[in-house]
Structure 1
Amino acid sequence: MTAGAVMEEILVRSSVDGAKEPALWFHPVGSDPVPLVVGLHTWSYDRFNQVEGMLPRCRERGWALLLPEFRGPNLSSNPRATEAAGSALAITDIYDAIQQVSSRFALQENARFLLGGSGGGHMALLTAATSPTFWRGVSAWVPITDLAAWREENPEYAEHVAACCGGIPGDSEDLAGRYRERSPLSYLDALARVNLSVHHGRHDDVVSYRHSWKLAQALEERGADHFFFEIFDGAHDIHYGTAFDWFGKQLTKEAAESIRLTG
């Protein structure tokens, strides 16, 4: 692995099953430690689909970027579908990739950020829940928070959700448990400890904004004081500029310019 201006493909050996998983890696030229952004691909795609949105913003800031594969697309056509979509193996793949690059490159210890939208937002929440204090900030956009509910809501994806979970939740308690294990709503106590920013388009016709709304209500009940939530005027979108600006503010702790209202 070398530092440079473009991303390179690396292979990461899984600490669980020994599989060699691909990832894309960028580190700016220089020896000083830099922040790390871990970008997660969407439901139906692979590690390449976040390059265009994230790489230019990391380049201009001088930050490192890691785009792990975590067992591939969450589709019935993926021969390893049951290992994708928020499985314990997939989550471990992300941390294994971080460990590998951290052992070879200068990265700031307390400047790790996690960003994903749609299926990547779903995965960001699950990944953050396993280690809430590992991340300086987590930004999840239009995420799926309840897999069983989403399978019912969106017939276009029902086949793929079932393939990833190994069946339909109503078929057995074991299957229902698998859906719960891969749903961020099952990890509210852990997510309440994450420095977390969640965004959802009010007119999203792929994943209803109610997924994020339910999460927000539950985290509010738990008194999460590092949770930030937005319903924006849009659809199934991710606003990279907003996410990266928020990451930058976590590093500087400078509030955005505003006018305090009185009265």
Structure 2
Amino acid sequence: MPRISPHGTWTSPVTAADAAAAGGGAQWLAAVDGALWWAEARPAEGGRVALVRALPGGGAEDVLPAPWNVRNRVHEYGGRPWIAVDGVVVFTHWADQRVYALKNGEVAALTPEPATPQGVRYGDLRPGREGEVWAVRERSTGPRRTDISRELVAIPLNGSAERVLAEGHRFFTAPQLSPDGAHAAWLAWDHPAMPWDGTELFVAPVAADGSFGEARVLAGGPEVAVCQVAWETADRLLVLADPDGWWNLHRIGLDGSAVNLAPVERELGGPMWKLGTSWFAPLGSGKHAVLDSGKLAILDESDGSVTRVETELTVWSSSGLVATPDGIAGIAGGPRHESAVVVLDPDTGKWRALTPQPASLPPAEYLPVPQERVFTGPDGAEIPAYVFPPTNPDFVAPEGELPPYVVHVHGGPTGHSDESLDLDFAYFTSRGIGVVAVNYGGSTGYGRAFRERLREQWGVVDVRDCAAVAEALVAEGIADRARLGIRGGSAGGFTSAASITMTRTYAAATVKFPILDFTGWTGEGGETHDFESQYLVSMVGPYPEAAERYRERSPMTHVGSLAGPVLFLQGLEDEICPPEQADRFVSEIDGSGIPHAYLRFEGEQHGFRKAETIVAALEAELSFYGQVFGFETPDVPRLELSR
């Protein structure tokens, strides 16, 4: 018989340590000589990323021992960090950002030590000509975060000097050699565009000495985003692009011919936050595995159809999709399954996992079943969202008590929330606190027009959409109006801070590694990295022409208008949203009488990777909500709030 206890006080088997243990997982999946290999983030090892391979008889083993950390800083979000070519494993190492080779059990550096620590970085490793690897090289050229140059380079496996393949653009990715070695293809773009705004697909002949001839644009443009390309034959490429407003799969010939293999108003691609991501894999016979807004589907050229595979694994990662003799390999999860490396038969939907579920995964009855909803905004726009209700079989609330709800704002803002199992959410829902994850205007997965609702409207549309969802839950009698909170990191941290300073919808906000001052978060302001230093040109407007808009939409401008307490969580090595802005905001609050707390974490970058940090942050957030919403949280340390 469930016990009666107020929302927020329910005893839960879901601990912050459970959430931390699930905070790693597989990434960058690929096949090597018929075996599946992947990188694996490990919070318990200080956030180290290991390189792992599946064993023929089951299980897996590490390819590289600690302290090797297979990760890089290209664009600060990183790019594909490993590849196996010619019997050699080539990888980037986090500590110094150099490229190394593992051969016959020995590791040797392939690139020189930079003059300044991590001053030269590599990512998106690809096979090149025989005896070399192609990559994106990123170099610091001055003291500012935006003093950066990038090129495509060839890195010889014998350790000799690398050579430049292509230069002249601000950003590059996806360097690939045609099957006959006669041509190279790659993607490039320039400020102020982001890769989901407009990119260009270049091709060039490859000379006998390996140099590139004159390059020409084969696809893409200022309003067309190409997000993935792969050679199909010596004279044709498969290309994910959105000339019609949706990322669809095209076949493009070197002669300029182009065919959309399945014209659908569906997103089969996504935003290139990390270089080397992939959303499709050819299966042969005119069929392709594709990700339809993150769900596995089969594209059949014969009838132009895109059919989702019926499976409980409803969320697939763009960090590796591989055709195998047994079906389709990928990294997938769902509302009841943590993300794992799996192999699935697309004909039957049956699958097997190559990586186990966390040993501490809580029983299913304590995990919320997400409800996919579409709300209507005040302007009539549709707002997709996932509602994660309070879920605990051991407790019910007193009659008539409505639960507190926290709006979760995804990052990006060109990002997306989905229904996958999230133990951070379960940590709250199993204690009686509801969570709703909102895909506000600007989110991906709904086509270019939906994505561009945020054009020059960041700080308006996102704030309004999140508030509309929260208010709708109140109107439906689902959430307690007096106990609404908002939480998010990065761009989600901005929206959370903007919402608690510029609306009166919420009683509390958790703001993680945020953007708080638009004027500083530009190339001129110097408080962000190069990749996103002109993002605000499209999201807010050109600077300095729109300087007043920058000032007005910045939470920093409205510190004195805080509607309630706020918790800040910040990594001290964050180069994307550096701590300077949170430092300034909190210094303005100090002495104001508004309850607040500011936790700063050594050794953390953009997003938390260490188990101890994840635990401390979640427990602090629960204590924060308890103090603001009026319930006891005796099972976590009490967060000290300043005023």
TM-score (normalizing by structure 2):
0.35
SS at match of 1:252: coil
Deviations 1:93-136 (A, max 9, x none): 1111112122223333422221111111111010011235x433
Q: For residue 100 of structure 1, give the secondary structure of its aligned residue in structure 2.
A: helix
Query: Deviations 1:123-157 (Å, cap 9, x if unpaired)?
Result: 1010011235x433211011111122112232201
Give the superposition deviation at 1:84. Answer: 4.9
Q: 1:165 to 1:106 in 2, by over 3 A?
A: closer
Give the CA deviation at 1:249.
3.7
- Cα deviation for residue 227 of structure 1 reads 2.2
Paired position in structure 2 for 1:60: 430
SS of the aligned residue for 1:79 comes to helix
| Structure 2 residue 462 is matched with structure 1 residue 90 | yes
Runs of 4 or more, structure 1, over 6 Å off, are none
The equivalent of 1:48 in structure 2 is 418
More displaced stretch, 175-184 vs 246-255 = 246-255
Structure 2 unaligned blocks of 5 or more? 1-366, 609-616, 639-643
Q: Distance in 2 between matches of 1:50 and 1:161?
A: 30
Q: % of aligned pairs identical?
A: 18
- Is 1:142 equivalent to 2:142 in the alignment? no
Alignment of 1:44-193 (within 5 A): 44-48=414-418, 52=422, 54-73=424-443, 78-82=451-455, 84-87=457-460, 89-132=461-504, 134-152=505-523, 153=526, 154-167=529-542, 169-170=543-544, 172=545, 175-191=546-562, 193=563
1:216 and 2:586 equivalent?
yes
Supply the AA of the counterpart residue of 2:556: L
Per the normalisation by structure 1, the TM-score is: 0.81
The 8 Å contact of residues 485 and 507 in structure 2, kept in 1 or not, is answered as: yes
Match of 2:341 in 1: none
Change (3 A) 1:206 1:50: farther
The 8 Å contact of residues 143 and 212 in structure 1, kept in 2 or not, is answered as yes
SS of residue in 2 equivalent to 1:113: strand
**Paired position in structure 2 for 1:252:** 631
- Per-residue deviation, 1:194: 2.1
Q: Mark the CA change 1:200 to 1:110 in structure 2 (over 3 Å): closer, same or farther.
A: same
In the alignment, the residues of structure 2 paired with residue 203 and residue 70 of structure 1 have an alpha-carbon distance, to the nearest angstrom, of: 29
C-alpha RMSD of matched pairs (Å): 2.7
Q: Which amino acid aligns with 1:199?
A: L
Question: Shift of residue 166 of structure 1?
Answer: 2.5
Alpha-carbon spacing, 1:95–1:51, altered in 2? closer, same or farther (3 Å):
farther
Q: Match for residue 69 of structure 2?
A: none
Q: What's the CA shift string for 1:60-94, capped at 9, x where partnerless?
A: 212211111221249xx73223265312x321211
Q: Quote the offset at 1:53 in angstroms.
A: 5.0
Q: Distance in 1 between matches of 2:627 and 2:382?
A: 35
1:41–1:50 Cα contact (<8 Å) kept: no
- Structure 1, unmatched stretches of 5+, are 259-263
Once the two structures are superposed, the pairs formed by residues 230-245 of structure 1 within 5 Å of their partners are 230-233=599-602, 234-237=604-607, 239-245=617-623
Structure 1 counterpart of 2:624, one-letter code: W
Distance in 2, matches of 1:81 and 1:93, equals 11
Residues 178 and 69 of structure 1: is their aligned pair in 2 closer, same or farther, counting only changes over 3 Å? Answer: same
| Separation of aligned partners in 1, 2:431 and 2:384 | 25
Aligned length: 244
Choose the corresponding residue for 2:383, options 12, 21, 42.
21
For residues 586 and 619 of structure 2, the distance between their equivalents in structure 1, rounded to whole angstroms, comes to: 22
Contact persistence 1:140–1:199 (CA under 8 A): yes
Structure 1 or 2: larger strand share? 2
Decide whether the 8 Å contact of 2:620 with 2:637 is kept in 1. Answer: no
Considering Cα pairs closer than 8 Å and 6+ residues apart, tell me whether 1 or 2 has the greater RCO. 1
Structure with higher helix content = 1
Larger Rg: 2
